[in-house]
Structure 1
Amino acid sequence: MSRRVGESPMVSALVNGLLIGLAAIALAPLLWMLSVSFMQQGEASAFPPPLLPARFTLDNYRELFARAGMGRYFLNSVLVAGGITVLSLAFNLMAGYAFAKLRFAGRERVFQTLLAALVIPAQVAMLPLFLMMKGLGLVNTYGGVVVPALATVFGIFLVRQYARSIPDELLEAARIDGAGEFRIFRQIVLPVLRPIVVTLAIFTFMAAWNDFMWPLIVLTDQENYTLPVALAALSREHVQDSEMMMAGAVVTVLPVLALFLLLQRHYIQGLLLGSVKG
């Protein structure tokens, strides 16, 4: 952290020390979870609990994938989160662009209604949503998990705010040259929206991967469970096996954590751009 002109070394040291301390507090549970996952069975139950394993072992991970079927649940999560991300991007990008640049009757009123829906808790909509999925025959299918996430108000809003920065003259020139709306969207709009596409993709994938409540409601067969639901079910069967549960938590958290750390620059940049465009 660079020191500003006129700022004393003591103040700079205090600020840096405070930031380091807060980072350590935030990382401590994650690091201990990782450490416990490599401990032998029952070692974490000692008092006081050890910070590091006495003997490094991968038995907990072998048990997870060999007997608990964690590999199947991992693939389920990849399939569901990947499908939601791809389809949600398509719907959100097209809807956000339409609300930003296309003129149609009731555009502003419809968008304001969508924004008003943000104040409704998601839990309130779960019962009618479940009844809709039941009527469509999508209960206990991956489609029942994916379809409700095809478009989100947040995603539409984020794309709309960024798309408003596209010059109308550029779009009109393309129309005059004979380009259709889909071609304009594909060749002109999408390249401009690239920063927000990355941001929305990361946000959507993380939300879908970590979602627990809706997959728990709509998926009834255990073989269809996603990782968070499977881990919760596994914890009831192995309530005393803290080491295996921590290994399962690592398998669940590590992919999205690695994805966020890898693309955090694009994620934050896209959020900032979306907040100031338009």
Structure 2
Amino acid sequence: MNTLKIAVQKSGRLSEKSLQLLEECGIKISNGERKLKAVAQNFPIEILFLRDDDIPQYVEQGVADIGVLGENEVWEKDKQVNIIEQLGFAGCRMSLAIPKDEIYTDLNYFQGKRIATSYPKILNNFFAKNNISVLIEEISGSVEIATSIGLADAVFDIVSTGSTLLMNGLKEVETVTKSEAVLISNKNLSQENQVILDKLLFRIKAVREGKRNKYILLNAPNSAIDEICSVLPGMKSPTILPLVEKDWSSLHSVIQEDDYWQIIEQLKNLGAEGILIIPIEKMIR
């Protein structure tokens, strides 16, 4: 039987999130000793634990069929792979930062400046598009200390909260791009492995849809049902069940997580009571 090989980061937050996603997809993995590879117990998939910046190369070469990593690594390595799904976690921005006492006006500030980064290709492409000439100092780690030791005038790095920049006397001045975890694949998957990948993608999308939506239950007077239904379209339309109390019904529907606070205010104004919001584990449209 064919096995789909998936490369994930061997340690760190992205690794944990990747394994959590597989678990939420119902895939059982045993890797208690943190070996370099593990085989799923109930799905034809083998997990390879690798450095994230090596994953694009391994997927391009077919050592791994698919991989989970940040978009930033895909862009920087520029390998011949397909980005097949954005996964919605490990979000960050890639930003330019300068010493906090410097006065910043616009991108022209960087003309002729030295900038330290672990992502020279992304940075070079950005400044080339903006017709600004810079000197790029490529370093593999601890980018944020480059200005304090005199290596560079500015830095370009991944930013999540910005606290690391502040601790090193820097301020964020320009967001170049945003990145999140993605699923990439080899461009020449076998037909058998494509079938396995399609099954995995089906599960991933069901998990992601569940996280983006909430199940809502409420009680309302029958006289308000039409107006409430216009606010709660649901997947097709709300489910309406009569209550024991005369002229009242219970409505069940699905709403997007980003919208439910605004929708709840409308529902209350229309007379809805006993509103319950319940997480959805998986959702298949």
Q: Same fold (TM over 0.5)?
A: no
Could you say which structure has the higher helix fraction?
A: 1
RCO comparison, higher one (Cα < 8 Å, 6+): 1
TM-score, with structure 1 as normaliser: 0.24
TM-score, with structure 2 as normaliser: 0.24
Could you say which structure has the higher strand fraction?
A: 2
